[in-house]
Structure 1
């Protein structure tokens, strides 16, 4: 009874009433143009930015009770939500300014936007006419961005009590927000996991494609691998790739008493066995970490490695091509960033090649994992 009581109190403390809604994904075939060059990337990017901005500004008309109900939560942290909304508007403006640079080559979705005020003005009146070339894309895109926004606002509503990648505790925590336009970093959670594990396949594919990705591993999984295979075999698996840590076990590092030991042990093991691949980055499982951890991470010389584009392929949530199309849509929206795939899900063997192939003609770059998070 005592356990049930504490679980009930814990759930109430986070205000949860219901699970999140459907995961956002968009069938890219609804977009009528093949993304065959950088200019067409910009056209699609402007369209996704305007659609998301339209959904975002509409959400701001909801009062707190209505927003809580929409997000399926009993209580919400409006201060956190407003902070995340402000961050979204600043990034949307910056991205739209980059996307506007090709308006002299194709004027589709080009409007006068000079600051956040004019972006909000355009977002408030944005619509796609019934006779538009892009009409088949419009409603599926609106649905996608509504669901995606709800994903972000729900995380913001629970932050910082339930930490996630939606916001930072300090500049020692990084995602891809400061990366250059059109530059993306591929990362893979749950690498070197007990079978099934696709780390070797992913790493080989990346090497063939001249791409360096960052694999985040658990200390206990590396220890288990080394009990079955040689160090040189493990090093061969991750050749030309980067390896960071997720701790010793995949569990929340926000309420775990031994979280510091978890990080130190895994870093020591990976740094010792994979010295050519190790990067001083800790990715918190499910993005959950403590708010007061800055001194520890700075002392350890570690960066908390978050992400801003989630493939949502963990636990089979989305199938391969669905996951890839979600990622591509978010690449168009955010124009740079850290992409998070799950290495133990077979979906990645479909989604990764699809994504690399689709993005080859559009002028994006893949960040060298050794450069770290910008």
Structure 2
């Protein structure tokens, strides 16, 4: 009976899902200025915030049926959508307030905003004049934010039937939303790669940049490394970095009978061979985890580490540079948070250096990985 009920619920869930659109990306070369100072970071940030706010406001004019059609879904959770929209507005207001602190040095995209009403008013009338210095950026950015907004609303519309990073299930979970302005954390999923591989290149690159990151590893991939190299070699690989887990293998932990064992086994292995790097964090593959899992993670002394800036580097339609450009656009929009890459993707060899170079003079900071376990 339990199996039948599970299959029934799963089929209902699948019936609500249509194929998603291609992930959003924005050609940053359309923006006419390099982010060579904190002030210019703020200018670009204000522009992205207002463009996204305009898209968000416009979406509120759609009724449930029209929104379902736009998102390509048969069934949507409007309560979750409304909750996510309200949280987005609060974040946009806080971010715009941070971004307008430099308006006395550069007044571009500085408008009177002293609260939610005025932000919504400015968002509603926001547009770029045909003769503007920023006109080549305007339409590509508008399209990026419409597409990105649909990505987020789609996740909300399917929540909690399909778990994702869009919302938290318990106080054992976090997604970087509470981080300080201009502070970002790099994370990498589903490694380590086979020897030699991108993981080897990536950890070496990060050490040379004096940056630490959190690597969410798979137990079976760690074991595969240990079958071919010594514990000391694996410790040298991750020197200066932090290690959380994604379970024993890369699969959804929301409907997997052995999901608890998957987490316990992988955590035990990492703690045994890499005790100086281990942090008690679980990154759910695909963002899928059980809604009632809070008690388990509390008993394990673990937290669920989600993200709020997704590189979409798994998408075959995005090149390495497009993935990096997407991340930069979302950094300008959200102004802080946890960035998700996959070190199993060779794209990161190009995407990460591009991102580091593009932001080197913009006044942002890279959070030490050990702080990720202390939200």
Cα distance, 1:341–1:10 mapped onto 2, change above 3 Å: same
Match of 1:354 in 2: 354
Q: Does 1:235 align with 2:242?
A: no
Give the C-alpha shift of residue 10 in structure 1: 3.0
Structure 1 unaligned blocks of 5 or more: none
Q: Find the aligned partners of 1:157 and 1:184 in 2 and give their Cα distance.
A: 27
Give the alignment's Cα RMSD to 1 decimal. 1.6
Give the deviation of 1:194 after TM superposition. 4.0
* Structure 2 equivalent of residue 68 of structure 1: 68
**1:139-168 CA distance string (max 9 Å, x none):** 000000000000000000000000000110
Structure 1 segment 43-54 matched on structure 2, within 5 A? 43-54=43-54
CA distance in 2, matches of 1:157, 1:15: 13
Tell me what 2:345 maps to: 345
Q: What SS does the corresponding residue of 1:372 show, helix, strand or coil?
A: helix
Q: How does 1:181-196 map to 2 (within 5 A)?
A: 181-194=181-194
8 Å contact 2:23–2:315 — kept in the other structure? no
Deviation at 1:315, TM superposition (A): 4.9
Distance 2:197 2:60 in 1: 42
Deviations along 1:238-288, whole A, 9 cap, x unmatched? 010111000011111111111111111110000110011111100000000
Per the alignment, in what secondary structure is the counterpart of residue 281 of structure 1? strand
CA distance in 1, matches of 2:84, 2:14: 18
Task: Report whether the alignment pairs 1:27 with 2:22.
Answer: no
Deviation at 1:170, TM superposition (A): 1.6
CA separation of 1:317 and 1:268: change in aligned 2, threshold 3 A: farther
Aligned partners of 1:241 and 1:277 also within 8 Å: yes
Relative to 1, partners in 2 of residues 1:106 and 1:154: Cα closer, same or farther, differing over 3 Å? same
- How far apart are residue 11 of structure 1 and its match? 4.1
Task: Tell me the TM-score normalised to structure 2 length.
Answer: 0.96
SS in 1 for 2:42: helix
| Partners of 1:170 and 1:363 in 2: CA distance | 33
Instruction: Provide structure 2 residue ranges, at least 5 long, that are not aligned to the other structure.
Output: none
Q: Does 1:308 find its partner at 2:317? A: no
Distance 1:212 1:150 in 2: 32
Equivalences, count: 371
Change (3 A) 1:196 1:119: farther
- Separation in 2 of the partners of 1:317 and 1:154? 19
The alpha-carbon deviation at position 58 of structure 1 amounts to: 0.2
